[in-house]
Structure 1
């Protein structure tokens, strides 16, 4: 019998007689037995969908058809008061550790980490994740899909891999690291190795297909080779996070369904939710959140575009549900579905309001501060491309709010249930007898880890790898499986995100919204002490529809004080509502992977995130490449960064250097050389002289071969902040979506020895000497 509170389980041999000759009759050693969890420990499939509000899935009354979620609910339990943190990385950290998001340093997304303990994005070694605990107890473990838990300065192909999935207890990982990825051209890793999709969209490649195929293959292999060992599979697709990508026939299934707009949709969803019993019959539909326009006030010429945005999203979610169904079918085929605990959390936060009030064909335009460029005419001209490989689209805020029916607000707003309440289904026929029922006890994402451990018969470890563990902060949900009327055990829970904060305590909620998700850029925020708090008695007001702060000032005061106590306990303070400052490593206090004004890359390097490469925006810079050109000339990419949503590329076309700048997919600016690069060893260089006068301005691009100018032209405007969340920089090829369709081929047909990036002005000799390159390489060690 193993003692499992110290992990790894110590290898302590039993005392006994040691003989001299193995043939001695007294020679006895117990047979080697593999480490396994306790008898009856189930397989666990944990499914986390991305950016889905409570009112999206048909399983919870929404308009997006999700028959496989309904299938799970028919034999399982629907949790109607389950909560997340209101944002991606924090929810995932809380889910995988059983601790509050600030307790494990993830007060926000990894890209906005600071040096404060509650916001540094570094999981403490005192908070071992669930996967490691299960793995050290004999479970096989695998993660598929989205991670978004790695500190941004550790996301290059060189790691370190401490907080990558394989460093956190997962035997196998197939997915992507960032907050989102292009569903047609994803940036994938297998373990810690960058891998490319098996094909292009033209070949029929689509990420949802790929993820489910890999998950099914892994589960089949695991059961074929280790049938007695249970598995823990964490399946977290990038869907339905923007960009909203889906094959056209899935979106077309919803043609015309949303033509009457988001207000009418909220009413229909609200009625269905009452019919299903996922909200009480006396629940009230909250008013449209301030700042969201009424559908009737939308310009008629824009309505067809907005309706198409929602059609695409609905198809995206239904397609995702379809692939969950494939996983369930595979489990059924293996005859283990009823033995497997399937936990499905439909959304890591509320629906996303990050697509602006009118939605966008390319979300990077909005995030980059150029939303005014996307007029109704511009989007109408691209209506048939929404959801396809050419797009990087996101829907309008009004749809996000409708997807959060019946609650107020959206993703990022941790104060209100629209940001934090997510429909959750637990399916485990051999684990409990109840089926097709709802459970109304209050629960939170930190409750999943202790629920799984209790189901597996495993204790919370006190030591892991020699480090004493902080107690798990969640409450196991198992008590409610066969007792719908059991008193809830998770009685108190704080919430905080971007300064939006709230507290739940024994049925009461005190909340204050500090920041509005779609108001970005230079927006003045109130002082924290000036925020107006609201009070709701959710014992009788299920949806937070009636603010009773004026009626119960003492209760409000008590809950405000309790929020502060919890905030101090869990590293929530100091509150930090900075946005621009947190985006800059220098002011945020987090490390950067690259430093200085020069960087040397070598041929074959690729899949380098923008955090892995010097920032070439809002400044003058040069790209210098040492290339070998074969007889007959060369074609293809020398160095490229970005993709269809925006980027830049230096390449050879018809043997001649060419530089193309893709401005948000709206315009392409190209400069071509007048001469071809002859066979042999040569330097190809592009110098960009920034116009200045602010961010996102243009500049003059000049091309050189061996120091001689061979072409120049003006780039009218540039992107100021980020090309995308997942497109990369590649040398000698271009992976992911293409910066331009002008290529004759992507892979360079000669050899790129190295590429040097130089920021700012140089001595303008237009050549890099070998000794200069060696000096740079030595300086970077």
Structure 2
């Protein structure tokens, strides 16, 4: 063989099934074929040479994986906790001008569904399989030991980002993640299910389910970003700046390489944090109450053609009071809550507008498949009947009262609150449906407005698409749009086939026959089955019912013909029992197939890993030794000190001029505890949900030199959330003691951490400061030991 002409020709031509250079290879006498169904794409065999001098040989072309010619950029925008009837684009009362604008030149989907909860929707969105197939039956913090619910995404369901990255895309994720197993968030990892190991080259955002928008817990890749005190800081603005910067830089460096940007806001999930100027835009606009807002929304939806003209307003849940039956104080409080929430959504849409403008500025909007999903589930009713100053009260079974919340109205939405609104607003913003987030058996929990914008791929402007769609359809839609096949193997692991159906068929044909004809729904016992225009469902529990539920076998099922009944108001179960029985059997078949069974309807109990049966980094540990520099430890990876006695022993070195700052803290402004020194004196504060504080403090300063500071807390016992006696001793001598009246039984925070030598984010104790440096311990910490002992 003549080595002068022996070169490997690599040609990437996407066919939708197999992208290969086989024809050209055969023409040249090569046998190399590119196969995109196996990822990463295998490199060709390297040629060997017998020629001594490189001058006499032409080098082969460089092997390079490129996306198929014409493959579009992809942007997925996912808003958190907003339902179908919230945004103005779908007839709601909250202005979303960016979504409106994209809809006018793109398509609105009015029959698109999610899973009714955060993590499951996000996982399903990015892998194209049902959430139970991906072990994400519920949020990661309530994972169990059963397949379908373990919270550990298997390698056999590779995410879309990894498929695109291995096919020549640049990939970046910004904002909320909430897809990492709770026990995999410590410094020990593993990092397999963190964004940068799930297909993303770049990640800037938070790992858990929510974060303080003023003082967020942020990671860049796997590195925690140190919080800083900044004027006018807001996380949604920050993540938008990061996304814009990444897209522009990526296109500057590699303009021929398409990008995939996943932009998932923490908004409008609680805490509802938003600058005052956005709240002011809605002043007085919700004084009319949730009943009139619902009525006005359904009227707009009909007028806009978003829903059929004959649609009836779904019945409001019995537990939600009529607005006219509420007191003037309730009117005042609840209207303010809605103003804050509405401002939060419009601010979020504004930031998305900045992202759109950036893509336009670099000339890439026409070739960008822009998918804007308004909600990962219905609007949240987790605020209970009166709302919450601190959302963590929900996770600790503490009910807040109107009289306690009224004095906080002017602060609502600002840094001094961690708020959620009353459930009546959730029902209103899910119009025309009855129910809300968590209710997977009602379209109020699963129906979310979606806009698809792609000038190069969509002919019609301003159209409406009504084919049934589900979040698992997004991944196959993008693969088809990019002319990429579904991979059979990714990183050496055979793949579970994608279970979604591409929606590309509907982009240019409003009357195209529906292709996604069967879909189950299940969340905490609420379950349903859609099949060929019919929906059978059972309402097992309301979102505000967090404790013991009725037996699953006692549930009563309803039946609806959704082709004629958009809002699920005409129950046909008695008229057509045969169809109902048929669909119930189909649900059980699908549930068994996709690992939905057995169903676990527990909610708050599953926050406790011992009760849920999932792995726990600290399982069985009664002692933990900590060292200076160990901070940012999330609650699921720190020793559990709740509902038991604890002893904290700190070996310190006190400088000549005394010491101040945090020795060890867990939690923040809205709940937690801190062992610290102030003006040279040791102190301990227990902050109960930001509602009350108990502090014990020594009267005298600790002299310079080595010192052992010990906090001993003797728990009362007799159940969860009880109080106890706290004692501080220095070098074996008691210097302070007192009562801690009550403690948090289940959770301190979703994003605040345990920190040695400082208090990250918001402070457990006001007056020590905000931010790392202001709370940093000024002495030396040799080590700290935390010991716990169960009390019966």
TM-score normalised by structure 1 residue count:
0.95
Q: Give the Cα separation in 1 of the matches to 2:608 and 2:636.
A: 11
Aligned to 1:627: 652
RMSD of aligned Cα (Å): 1.4
Q: Give the Cα separation in 2 of the matches to 1:631 and 1:226.
A: 57
Kindly indicate whether residue 770 of structure 2 is the aligned counterpart of residue 742 of structure 1: no
Kindly indicate whether residue 34 of structure 2 is the aligned counterpart of residue 5 of structure 1: no
Q: Give the Cα separation in 1 of the matches to 2:172 and 2:69.
A: 21
Q: Give the Cα separation in 2 of the matches to 1:455 and 1:758.
A: 56
Aligned to 1:400: 426
Aligned to 1:657: 682
CA distances 1:288-342 after superposition (whole Å, capped 9, x unpaired)? 1232111112222221111111100000000100110010011011111111111
Kindly indicate whether residue 669 of structure 2 is the aligned counterpart of residue 641 of structure 1: no
Aligned to 1:778: none
Aligned to 2:455: 429
2:84 to 54, 57, 60: 54
Distance change >3 Å, CA 498–CA 148, structure 1 → 2: same
Kindly indicate whether residue 787 of structure 2 is the aligned counterpart of residue 758 of structure 1: yes
CA distances 1:166-202 after superposition (whole Å, capped 9, x unpaired)? 11111111111111111111111111111124434xx
Question: Which structure 2 residues correspond to residues 230-309 of structure 1 after superposition, within 5 A?
Answer: 230-309=258-337
Question: Which structure 2 residues correspond to residues 185-204 of structure 1 after superposition, within 5 A?
Answer: 185-200=215-230, 203-204=231-232
Aligned to 2:51: 20
Q: Give the Cα separation in 1 of the matches to 2:263 and 2:95.
A: 20
Aligned to 1:449: 475
Partners of 1:699 and 1:716 within 8 A in 2? yes
Question: Which structure 2 residues correspond to residues 304-315 of structure 1 after superposition, within 5 A?
Answer: 304-315=332-343
1:409 to 435, 458, 461: 435
Partners of 2:216 and 2:227 within 8 A in 1? yes
Q: Give the Cα separation in 1 of the matches to 2:790 and 2:150.
A: 35
Aligned to 2:353: 325
Alpha-carbon distance, 1:33 to partner: 4.9
Partners of 2:440 and 2:526 within 8 A in 1? yes
Alpha-carbon distance, 1:248 to partner: 1.4
The residue matched to 2:328 in structure 1 has which SS?
coil
1:605 to 630, 633, 644: 630
Distance change >3 Å, CA 761–CA 329, structure 1 → 2: closer
Kindly indicate whether residue 237 of structure 2 is the aligned counterpart of residue 206 of structure 1: no
Question: Which structure 2 residues correspond to residues 454-465 of structure 1 after superposition, within 5 A?
Answer: 454-465=480-491
Alpha-carbon distance, 1:529 to partner: 2.4
CA distances 1:630-663 after superposition (whole Å, capped 9, x unpaired)? 2211111111111111111111111100111111
2:602 to 566, 578, 588: 578
Aligned to 1:101: 131
Partners of 1:106 and 1:118 within 8 A in 2? yes
Kindly indicate whether residue 154 of structure 2 is the aligned counterpart of residue 154 of structure 1: no
The residue matched to 2:783 in structure 1 has which SS?
strand
Aligned to 1:37: 67
Question: Which structure 2 residues correspond to residues 526-545 of structure 1 after superposition, within 5 A?
Answer: 527-545=551-569
Q: Give the Cα separation in 2 of the matches to 1:618 and 1:123.
A: 31
Partners of 1:616 and 1:759 within 8 A in 2? yes
Aligned to 2:12: none
Q: Give the Cα separation in 2 of the matches to 1:617 and 1:358.
A: 27
Aligned to 1:174: 204
Q: Give the Cα separation in 2 of the matches to 1:652 and 1:755.
A: 15
1:557 to 581, 592, 596: 581
Across the two proteins, how many residue pairs are aligned to each other? 754
Alpha-carbon distance, 1:581 to partner: 4.5
Partners of 1:639 and 1:730 within 8 A in 2? yes
Aligned to 2:521: 495
The residue matched to 1:234 in structure 2 has which SS?
strand
Question: Which structure 2 residues correspond to residues 457-496 of structure 1 after superposition, within 5 A?
Answer: 457-496=483-522
Partners of 1:62 and 1:403 within 8 A in 2? yes
Partners of 1:157 and 1:194 within 8 A in 2? no
The residue matched to 1:760 in structure 2 has which SS?
strand
Q: Give the Cα separation in 1 of the matches to 2:166 and 2:175.
A: 23
CA distances 1:458-505 after superposition (whole Å, capped 9, x unpaired)? 000011112211110000011111111111111111111111111111
Alpha-carbon distance, 1:761 to partner: 8.3
Aligned to 1:85: 115
Q: Unaligned 5+ residue runs, structure 2?
A: 1-20, 22-33
Aligned to 2:26: none
The residue matched to 2:376 in structure 1 has which SS?
coil
Q: Give the Cα separation in 2 of the matches to 1:128 and 1:366.
A: 34
Distance change >3 Å, CA 184–CA 399, structure 1 → 2: same
1:666 to 667, 670, 691: 691
Partners of 1:197 and 1:205 within 8 A in 2? no
Alpha-carbon distance, 1:110 to partner: 0.8
Q: Give the Cα separation in 2 of the matches to 1:22 and 1:419.
A: 70
The residue matched to 1:117 in structure 2 has which SS?
coil
2:370 to 342, 366, 370: 342
Alpha-carbon distance, 1:691 to partner: 2.1
Aligned to 1:678: 703
Partners of 2:386 and 2:401 within 8 A in 1? no
Alpha-carbon distance, 1:582 to partner: 2.7
TM-score normalised by structure 2 residue count:
0.93
* 4+ residue runs over 6 A deviation: none
1:512 to 528, 538, 541: 538
The residue matched to 1:316 in structure 2 has which SS?
helix
Q: Give the Cα separation in 2 of the matches to 1:384 and 1:289.
A: 30
The residue matched to 1:657 in structure 2 has which SS?
strand
Alpha-carbon distance, 1:24 to partner: 5.8
Partners of 2:608 and 2:746 within 8 A in 1? no
Partners of 1:259 and 1:307 within 8 A in 2? yes
Aligned to 2:27: none
Q: Unaligned 5+ residue runs, structure 1?
A: 763-781
Alpha-carbon distance, 1:369 to partner: 1.6
Q: Give the Cα separation in 2 of the matches to 1:714 and 1:306.
A: 36
Partners of 2:669 and 2:766 within 8 A in 1? no
Partners of 2:43 and 2:63 within 8 A in 1? no
Q: Give the Cα separation in 1 of the matches to 2:416 and 2:481.
A: 45
Distance change >3 Å, CA 359–CA 23, structure 1 → 2: closer
Aligned to 2:4: none
Aligned to 2:466: 440
Partners of 2:541 and 2:549 within 8 A in 1? no
Alpha-carbon distance, 1:624 to partner: 1.3
Partners of 1:157 and 1:193 within 8 A in 2? no
The residue matched to 2:690 in structure 1 has which SS?
coil
Distance change >3 Å, CA 186–CA 23, structure 1 → 2: closer
1:699 to 712, 717, 724: 724
Q: Give the Cα separation in 2 of the matches to 1:397 and 1:24.
A: 76
CA distances 1:366-385 after superposition (whole Å, capped 9, x unpaired)? 331221xx322211111111
Alpha-carbon distance, 1:36 to partner: 1.1
Aligned to 2:742: 717
